[in-house]
Amino acid sequence: MRRHRHHVRPVNDAVTVDIPRAVLRILAGTQVAEHGQKVRQVHNPIAVHIPPSVLIDKQKWPPSDALNVGTQVHTSPAQFGKVMSDIQPRMAVGYHFFNDFDTLPVVHEMVRKTYGGPLALATDYMVFNVTKDDIRVRMAVIDEDIWPQPSVTEKLPADPSQRIGFSEFITSGRVPYSDVVEKIYADINRRYGSNVKPPK
């Protein structure tokens, strides 16, 4: 069985499992059934693929390719449900499929044809709080509008010889507004102890 690393963090008496982006976990049904029985008191995540019909309708795949990839190379939603029915986990978690507004209902419907237990179809920022008594599925609260972290490497000075200037057409229309720019330079120099001169 190929193992993949998840983000697992203790929170009080619970274990929080964060499903990261683009996690791949391909397990044969017999492996999941065999090893899943040993950990059924936690939860069982397994890669589940979109059904062949979606590959045909959306990606215009030939049926032969869609059936091969959707049921042989990957685990179809119905096959996933069958494995979960055999394992009977506290929480079945399906992931590694394009979980979107129009694919989720199809995947969910096909899983429910073969499995009727607790189910979560994972998406980015979904969090599982696992205790011995309960498994809570929730979405992490994130701020999508964040600044990138400062560079950890030293900034190298620009080489003036590599400078590519503006065209005459651009420079001929330049209005520098020197009175405004000089005040900005003066303010920055005062606040940060620098001595940068504005360009001429």
Strand order in the sheet with 92-95: 44-47, 92-95, 119-121
Structural domains in the chain (count): 2
Query: Same domain for 93 and 53?
Result: yes
pLDDT in tens, 46-89: 677 888 999 999 999 999 999 999 899 888 999 999 999 999 99
Q: What pLDDT, on the 0 to 100 scale, is given for residue 48? A: 79
For residue 145, being part of any structural domain is answered with no
Query: Same domain for 110 and 23?
Result: yes
Tokens of 40: 């059924």
Query: Same domain for 128 and 185?
Result: no
Query: Same domain for 102 and 173?
Result: no
For residue 12, being part of any structural domain is answered with yes
Query: Same domain for 76 and 112?
Result: yes
Query: Same domain for 95 and 128?
Result: yes
Query: Same domain for 108 and 20?
Result: yes
33 compared with 185, residue with greater pLDDT: 185
Domain extent for 26: 7-139
pLDDT in tens, 135-179: 999 999 988 888 888 889 988 888 888 888 889 999 899 888 999
Query: Same domain for 117 and 169?
Result: no
CA angle 22, 24, 27 (to 5 degrees): 160
Q: 0.75 exceeded by the pTM?
A: no
- Average pLDDT for 22-33: 38
